[in-house]
């Protein structure tokens, strides 16, 4: 024996399917015309707009250590450097090219997306992008030079202040105190050597400040790890498929609203007739 509730549910399903078929039969012409019209608009507008091309780059930014006599040139923190590079790229202007960049914390690499209506610009964009990035990095490199120079000048001033005191102590010691004199002589020689090394470093950093382009190239390494070919953002075939599907969905929604409006008008008219009949 068949469950009555199951029969009712089955009947509702059959009615629902029938309603759907009737809906599409009743609105076939409307849906077809709206789909066609919207598809033509959706396809024509992008085709009239300039064609867009894209290219993908993966960059690596490193700061090799540069040794000084009393230490090393201060390296930029790699995470800070990567963040700076991303910010520089986002605000860069390169012909007609739009640049989007984001860092990958795991690999410490930078993913760059380039987009332009001119494929030739994209083809020759990589060297110019690297050059521009190095130019933009001259500012933080200059700040690092200033920090190092200030620290060396402080050390130099300290060493130069200690040396006269040491020489005065040596001069006051009797010649018979050989062990003490030898120890102080060694200390003086070390101070003199330290001052000479600091003077060399100071001169190097001052010269570097005058040649920011050269020193930035030396202390900053930017490499292209991977580079894609220039390709159109979307093909005509993809555009047509997406346009037709989207237009069809919009047409179905419009048909549903049209049906609902029609039913609402019919119900309002029926209610009005019923009220008039009652009177």
Q: What is the average pLDDT across 238-249?
A: 82
Tens of pLDDT, residues 106-144: 777 889 899 888 888 888 888 888 888 888 888 888 888
Count of domains observed in the chain: 1
Does residue 123 lie in a domain region? yes
Q: Give me the percent of the chain exceeding a pLDDT of 70.
A: 80
pLDDT at residue 186 tops 70: yes
Does residue 115 lie in a domain region? yes
Does residue 142 lie in a domain region? yes
Does residue 276 lie in a domain region? no
Domain holding 194, by residue range, is 53-232
pLDDT at residue 232 tops 50: yes
pTM of the model: 0.55
Q: Which of 74-78, 85-89, 208-212, 260-264 has the lowest mean pLDDT?
A: 74-78
Does residue 250 lie in a domain region? no
Does residue 48 lie in a domain region? no
DSSP the chain: ---HHHHHHHHHHHHHHHHHHHHHHHHHHHHHHHHHHHHHHHHHHHHHSPP-EEEEEEEEEE----EETTEEPPPPPHHHHHHHHHHHHHT--BTTBEEEEEEETTTTEEEEEEEES-HHHHHTHHHHHHHHHHHHTHHHHHHHHHHHHHHHHHHHHHHHHHHHHHHHHHHHS-TT-HHHHHHHHHHHHHHHHHHHHHHHHHHHHHHHHH-HHHHHHHH-EEEEEEEPPPEESS-HHHHHHHHHHHHHHHHHHHHHHHHHHHHHHHHHHHHHHHHHHH-
Does residue 108 lie in a domain region? yes
Does residue 114 lie in a domain region? yes
């Amino acid at each position: 024996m068949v469950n009555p509730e199951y029969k009712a549910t089955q009947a509702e399903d059959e009615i629902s399917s029938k309603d759907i078929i009737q809906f599409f039969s009743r609105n076939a012409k409307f849906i077809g015309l709206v789909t066609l019209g919207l598809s033509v608009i959706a396809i024509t507008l992008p085709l009239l707009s300039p064609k867009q091309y894209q290219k993908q780059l993966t960059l690596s930014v490193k700061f090799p250590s540069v040794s000084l006599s009393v230490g090393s040139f201060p390296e930029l923190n790699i995470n800070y450097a990567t963040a700076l590079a991303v910010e520089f790229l986002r605000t860069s202007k390169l012909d007609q090219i739009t640049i989007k960049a984001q860092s990958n914390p795991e690999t410490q690499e930078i993913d760059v997306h380039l987009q332009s209506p001119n494929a030739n610009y994209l083809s020759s964009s990589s060297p110019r992008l690297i050059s521009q990035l190095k130019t933009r990095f001259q500012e933080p490199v200059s700040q690092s030079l200033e920090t190092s120079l200030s620290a060396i000048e402080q050390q130099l001033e300290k060493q130069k202040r200690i040396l006269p005191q040491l020489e005065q102590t040596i001069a006051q010691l009797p010649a018979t105190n050989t062990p003490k004199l030898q120890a102080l002589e060694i200390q003086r020689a070390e101070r003199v050597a330290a001052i000479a090394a600091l003077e060399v470093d100071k001169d190097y950093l001052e010269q570097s400040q005058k040649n920011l382009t050269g020193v930035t190239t030396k202390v900053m390494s930017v490499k292209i790890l991977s580079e894609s070919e220039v390709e159109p953002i979307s093909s005509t075939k993809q555009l047509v498929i997406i346009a037709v599907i989207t237009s069809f969905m919009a047409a179905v929604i419009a048909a549903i609203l049209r049906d609902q409006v029609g039913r609402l008008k019919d119900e309002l008219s029926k209610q009005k007739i019923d009220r008039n009949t009652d009177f």
